[in-house]
Amino acid sequence: MNVNNDFLCEAPPALAPSSSRTGRSGVADATAEALRTRLLSLGRPAGLRVAENGVRLDESAQDGAVPALLPEAFGDPSFLRDYGVRFAYYAGAMAGGINSEEMVIALGAQGILSSFGAGGLGVERVRSAVARIKAALPDGPYAINLLHNPGQPDWEMACVKLFVDEGVRVVEASAYVKLTPAIVYYRVAGLEADGRGGVVRRNKVIAKVSRREVATHFLMPPPQKILASLLAQGLISPAQAELAARVPMADDITVEGDSGGHTDNGVLACIFPSIADLRDEIAAEQRYGFGIRIGAAGGLGSPQSVLAAFALGAAYVVTGSINQACREAGTSEAVKTRLGQATIQDVAMAPSADMFELGAKVQVLKAGSMYAVRAQKLYTLYKQYERLEDIPEAEIRNLENALFKRPIDTVWAETEAFFTSRGNLAPLEAARSNPRKKMALLFQWYLGQSSRWAIAGDTERAVDFQVWCGPAMGAANEWLRGSALEAVSERRAGVIAVELMRGAAYLARVQFLRHLGVAVPESWLRYRPGTAR
């Protein structure tokens, strides 16, 4: 662009009518407003002229210009192409169908990728979701989540078989520590030679990680040992096993900082560059002949944070917490209302239901719920005692009255019924010979039910709601306050997505103006929803 040197003067020209920095006055309010309005008109460049009394909008652009920047321009264009989407953005999975069929379909219809929250659902429920989503979006875009749970390898494999049979082409793989036969099978079952020496990767994997060790597994080709076993079972062909050596496990790595649900509470600004570097190292070694994109998740609830993620180099951005308060989310109005009032600080780490024995934690909404405190109490008892019988009688009564609201024996009977109905008998067998395991399963009844009470909006259990949520929720509430999207009843995931991206584009243009040396009023560095076009 053509910027003359006067324009890039050390003491930037003032835009504001009476900038305290320069003591200048004279830019009429109307002129400043015209420039700001132009910055909000994302597709139109803003030509600038340096006048005696500051910078003003000028179509002839003698002294520089802020270029057009549409939200579609953010991120890696190959993300848009590969997934057939409009934005380098996707809505991450929310287990238990909270990222629901409705959400996936509504976002998909707008050309935005969304990942159905299959975690915690029975295979038949996942099957019906896949059928409904496919019927509504036969050509996509959509993704289905494969949430690893070390205690349920059969569920994971059954889901993958379903995905392969039904032609599900995008899987968001998460909570992995190492690779499992199921995720490797999904990836490799989609490999084909393209006839020109390349490999077609039909089954796309977006791996969500927060650590380098886990990222490494997905940046590398599938491990030989798992390939050999899949081959022996006849699940993959010898040709696919060979092709597998030439592709990484994932097409995309979503680096997740401090987020709702399972999280290492990582700082995105630290872990993103680290994993991007790791990708560069592995890609240089492996010479795949195509790139592996790195996206960013965790803490994104305002246009500023979305812009920051793209500034880190994100190929795409991912939201989670903020979508749970939207109309399409598969959870209760009671939960959405609570989420809509949350502040940034209203979150806490609490024991997780699925990896309770390992001491894993999830980030939850603290406001209005005793879940974090009560689940922690159960974990403390689990660590302190070898078996239920060792826990003092008074403590047991307390649990029965306050948490379970039923006798321990009934809780156990319900636990048995749950696992039996899912055909998952291994935990019950383990509990028979291991009293500590039995105690864990019994405590997990509360941890598991508390999510269901929240989804169902069970008012009698309102103080026990387990609602996964990160600080992004409070950030979004602050951003949306006073706008047409303040009430959760008005929030739609697609509208929020577009507003976040538009806001980021507007803010990027304001930053551009700053980079030109213009003193921009602080108030311009905020984006009010609904104002950009």
Site of interaction with ligand FMN (CB under 6 A)? 92-95, 98, 117, 119, 145, 147, 172, 174, 208, 256, 259-261, 297-300, 318-321, 324, 468-470, 472
- The Cα 391–Cα 40 span in angstroms is 63
Closest separation between CB of residue 402 and ligand FMN, Å?
25
User: With respect to ligand FMN, which residue has the nearer C-beta, 3 or 367?
Assistant: 367
Closest separation between CB of residue 477 and ligand FMN, Å?
13
Determine contact, residues 349/286, Cβ cutoff 8 Å.
no
User: With respect to ligand FMN, which residue has the nearer C-beta, 63 or 258?
Assistant: 258
Long-range contact list for 102-105, CB < 8 A, 24+ apart?
102/328, 102/330, 103/323, 103/326, 103/328, 103/329, 103/330, 103/493, 104/133, 104/137, 104/142, 104/143, 105/132, 105/133, 105/136, 105/137, 105/142
Residue with tokens 């806490």: 348
Closest separation between CB of residue 119 and ligand FMN, Å?
4
* CB closest to ligand FMN, residue no: 320
Closest separation between CB of residue 214 and ligand FMN, Å?
12
Closest separation between CB of residue 504 and ligand FMN, Å?
15
User: With respect to ligand FMN, which residue has the nearer C-beta, 48 or 296?
Assistant: 296
Upstream peptide bond of 427 is cis (omega within 30 degrees of 0): no
Among candidates 316, 310, 330, 295, which has minimal Cα distance to 120?
330
Closest separation between CB of residue 294 and ligand FMN, Å?
14
Helix (H) or strand (E) holding 393: helix 393-398
- Terminal alpha carbon distance of the chain: 24
User: With respect to ligand FMN, which residue has the nearer C-beta, 222 or 320?
Assistant: 320
Closest separation between CB of residue 209 and ligand FMN, Å?
10
The H helix count followed by the E strand count for the chain is 20, 16
Closest separation between CB of residue 468 and ligand FMN, Å?
4
Determine contact, residues 504/74, Cβ cutoff 8 Å.
yes
User: With respect to ligand FMN, which residue has the nearer C-beta, 16 or 268?
Assistant: 268
- The Cα 304–Cα 475 span in angstroms is 10
Fill in the DSSP letter of residue 417.
Answer: H
User: With respect to ligand FMN, which residue has the nearer C-beta, 46 or 315?
Assistant: 315
Q: Is 90 left (phi over 0), alpha (psi -120 to 50) or beta?
A: beta
- The Cα 273–Cα 380 span in angstroms is 37
User: With respect to ligand FMN, which residue has the nearer C-beta, 160 or 431?
Assistant: 160
Closest separation between CB of residue 259 and ligand FMN, Å?
3
Determine contact, residues 124/149, Cβ cutoff 8 Å.
no
3-state SS track over 221-284: CCCHHHHHHHHHCCCCCHHHHHHHCCCCCCCEEEEECCCCEECCCCCHHHHHHHHHHHHHHHHH
User: With respect to ligand FMN, which residue has the nearer C-beta, 255 or 505?
Assistant: 255
Closest separation between CB of residue 506 and ligand FMN, Å?
21
User: With respect to ligand FMN, which residue has the nearer C-beta, 475 or 516?
Assistant: 475
User: With respect to ligand FMN, which residue has the nearer C-beta, 42 or 467?
Assistant: 467
Determine contact, residues 182/160, Cβ cutoff 8 Å.
yes
Beta bridge partners of 296: 255, 317
